[in-house]
Amino acid sequence: MKRRTILQAPALLCLPKGVRAQSFPTKPIRYIVPVAAGGGNDMIARVVTERWGKALGQNFIVENQGGGGGVIASVATARAVPDGYTLMQGYVATHGTTPATRKVPYDAIKDFTPIGMIGGTPNVLVVNSALPVKTLAEFIAYAKQNPGKLNYGSSGQGSTVHILTESFRHAAGIDIVHIPYRGAGPSLGGLLAGDIEILIDTVVVPHIQAGRLLGLAAAGDTRLPELPELPTLAELGLSSVRTSGWTALFAPAQLPRDILDIYTRNIESLFKDEAFVKRIVATGSRPAFLAPAPFAELVRQDHAYFGNVIRELKIRAQD
């Protein structure tokens, strides 16, 4: 069975462009997710595949291939036949941070076809409410007065949150200690318990709104609609800290243009559906469509930026 599938895929690619586009898709589509089931990334995958399955008239088979900062899923995608029947829902780790913190058996730029961005991650810099600070400037001043005495959390050594916070620490010129946790949930628990004093993450937003944590800055290019009074890091003088968090679709390299166009049109149409947008928001992501060309440029920029930051600050992934 596996041999027949491999032989059929190139035959499809040899069809005339118009014929191939009219016949696609003719079988279920493999949809690889580089995280375990149950998290925000996986929730987005369930929403997208359900709506796409109806739109394209084919089932999407979600495969959760967590582990290695997205390496396992990325390798499986990069090595698949570029016939449109294997997709991956990547994120900034698979193409930006992981390839810079460890040696990976794939090229984050050359081995994939960027299809489009689905959503962005609204990270926020927060502190424990017990700290005697009210603004980011006050926090930086307090940290400088207490070098090495404040702890910050992350979802793991070499994680995107770790790298982002190290970039902030370096730009602010402060000495704070990294405490890695096994995921975003445990790091949030550490902040609420007072074991750490600062965290930059998405999971903090509801706790800011409830008054349990103090938000100091939005770690992104624009202010958050849910926290409009919160200034961005750039507004507060830390424009050198590039913050990037996205969820997006990739296929193996050399995906035929006509099949790419089918997927791109279908992604864009989803964002015109109010019910779909609301369901993406409910996962904790910010819906944000970006077409293949501008998204490919964003991937290249993140790959270069995070690589430079990781090398400069000598950040390593968990062994």
Q: Which pLDDT does position 94 carry in this prediction? A: 92
pLDDT in tens, 39-83: 778 889 999 999 999 989 999 999 999 877 789 999 999 999 999
Instruction: Determine the distance from the C-alpha atom of residue 237 to the mean position of all C-alpha atoms in its chain, rounded to a whole number.
Output: 25
Residue 25, preceding bond cis, omega within 30 degrees? yes
Q: Indicate the average pLDDT of the chain.
A: 87
Query: What b/e string do you get for 30-52 counting C-beta neighbours within 10 Å, with b at 16 or more?
Result: bbbbbbeeebbbbbbbbbbbebb
Tokens of 28: 């279920």
pLDDT in tens, 83-120: 999 999 999 889 988 888 888 999 999 999 999 999 88
Contact 102, 317 (CB under 8 A): yes
Flag residues of the chain having pLDDT under 70.
1-22, 244, 317-319
Tokens of 162: 């770790």
pLDDT in tens, 20-32: 456 899 999 999 9
d(CA 317, CA 319): 6
Whole-structure pTM value: 0.79
DSSP states along 273-293: -HHHHHHHHHTT-EEEEE-HH
Residue ranges of domains in the chain, CATH in brackets: 2-121+245-313 (3.40.190.150), 124-218 (3.40.190.10)
d(CA 34, CA 252): 15
d(CA 183, CA 163): 14
